[in-house]
Structure 1
């Protein structure tokens, strides 16, 4: 079943949030080659990284399916999603 455009926007927002979490953890813990992470830190970062990777993959597959079902180029759909995501992140304010 193909996702709706709104579901694709939600998937992109979730992937973006997961990426922010990974970056935050890495900034907090320091570079793994320069700072010895505890096993808990390593597990926390790996779990966050896997979540981000999985969400990003699910998004890519869903965009492919949507673009194919709509008969539209993927890059056009992705651009529209990016625009909708920016709109959502700005609180839905008109720009």
Structure 2
């Protein structure tokens, strides 16, 4: 039996116990992506629903708006989508 084998139950338990990303992590991801795409004026970041809380995402959206960006977060049953726009 391979040593790296993991059962579906173990994977599920690990996913549930994983640390969720916080507002600062989300903002860091946005700022890095913006810097890499300055001339585009638009970026989209997707997160799995179990990796980011909706409250942390909403806090990140508020901060982005305070920083002058147009930001919007939407969610589905499996993902959170963060759209960010800025003037070019």
Shorter chain as denominator, the TM-score bin is 0.3 to 0.5
Structure number with the higher strand fraction is 2
Using structure 2 for the length normalisation, give the TM-score: 0.35
Structure number with the higher helix fraction is 1
Using structure 1 for the length normalisation, give the TM-score: 0.34
- Structure with higher RCO (Cα < 8 A, 6+ apart): 1
